[in-house]
Amino acid sequence: MIKTIQFYDLDKLESHDRSRLLVRTESDMAQFIEGVKPIIEKVKNEGDDALVYYAQEFDKSSITKHTIKAEPDDFDRAFKALDSNLIDSLKFAANRIKKFHEHQMPELMNFSEQFPGVFVGDRFSPIPSVACYVPRGKGSFPSVVLMTTIPAVVAGVKHAYVITPPGPNGKIDDATLVAAKLAGITEVYKCGGAQAVAAAAYGTETVPKAVKIVGPGSPWLVAAKKQLSDIIDPGTPAGPSESLILADGSASAEIAALDLIIESEHGPDSSAFLVTPNRDLAQKVISILPTLWAKMSENRADFSSTVLCGEKGGVILTKDMDQAIEFVNDYAPEHLEVLSKEPLNYLGKLITPGEILLGHHTPISLCNFDLGPNAVLPTSGAAETSSPLCVYDFLKMTSIGYVTSDAYPELAKHAHTIATYEGFDGHALAVSELRKKALEKL
């Protein structure tokens, strides 16, 4: 059956049809929330036995309680089995990602005298533990290992580990193990989806309890994070992939088409749109896409065409660049590419995207793998208020204050006035004459 790439003329759409373009797979989580509840409960009550059960049930993988954790020999075997060129590329990517996140690190202590006798500031401390989730259902993603674990290691997290679904052979993907070792991680556990979130939240006999979980995944993973958010910090809301390609009349149609397939090939739950005011460009991109699908594997081509010919993807024509930019900001995409000979002209107007990649030489592929900035980004509109995964996700900030005896009286006077107005007697007493008399005895 011949598929037709979706084409929308934004200026001619009714408001409800325009709003529908903003909807992602994650928008209605009700069915997923209900679906993960029994999985979470089983893992909570049965621990490793539940992980073994769900590995067979969902991953079609036979593991035992004794093989949930990767052994040192597994890492050694992976390095020997993996192609040396891939190892070199992973080392290259790891170095770029590490450098970026090292530069991102704040001063661990910021403490200064902002007024005479008043010292205030912040101190950053690494969180104690984190589970880094690496999906596997639609492929193997060593890049996600690097993106989730390296900032944790740079931030100084003492106990960081990887959780990832086992393959049909009951083993962990070789590249995942190699990437983990390159990042400085020695603990990798076989569990995926909602059961992995539950294992990290509650702990099992084998999988350690963590205070936070990070990493992208399916709506089932997102639902489990939401369900367990009072037990474990769910981290950046990273679900199915999404991208917008914003292009003006100077953009290359060939490059726009190439970049439109990047995120659309992740799976049928992904979203991907070209947004442009140039009709000729839009039509050229539509004509090029089938030729690119012919060069892809059947599976990935089917994923991409399903997205771009379905309700969550396609080509959007706008009346001008201002309307295109307005749509981008309303959409708040995970990934945004700006294809133009002068992309910096638009940067100041683009507010909500999770990442903004400028120009024809900066495809999403680079940022997904080895540019340096983190590729774990907020999805489903969360980019409007949430940020990419970064070292700050693995740091806790503590406020610090110190007041000298000379500075205390003025602060106390105003604090007493405000406390009295708000009706907090205890607050007021603590900065009243009673304290002054107590201080005089010191």
Q: List residues with catalytic annotation.
A: 334-335
Q: How far apart are CA 208 and CA 192, in angstroms?
A: 15
Contacts of 317 (CB under 8 A, 6+ apart): 7, 8, 9, 10, 11, 276, 277, 279, 282
Residue 71 CA, chain-centre distance (Å), reads 28
Q: How far apart are CA 426 and CA 355, in angstroms?
A: 47
Query: What does the block give as tokens for 51?
Result: 């992980």
Query: What does the block give as tokens for 331?
Result: 């959409």
- Residue 397's Cβ-side half-sphere holds a number of Cα atoms within 13 Å equal to 11
Query: What does the block give as tokens for 154?
Result: 């740079």
Pairing of strands 7-9, 313-317: parallel
Q: How far apart are CA 49 and CA 69, in angstroms?
A: 14
E strand spans, 373-431 = 395-403
Give the H/E segment covering residue 8: strand 7-9
Q: How far apart are CA 378 and CA 333, in angstroms?
A: 8
Q: How far apart are CA 116 and CA 350, in angstroms?
A: 41
Q: How far apart are CA 281 and CA 252, in angstroms?
A: 8
Q: Backbone dihedral region of 359: left (phi > 0), alpha (psi from -120 to 50 degrees) or beta?
A: left
Q: How far apart are CA 24 and CA 222, in angstroms?
A: 13
Contacts of 248 (CB under 8 A, 6+ apart): 276, 277, 278, 321, 339, 340
Residue 349 CA, chain-centre distance (Å), reads 23
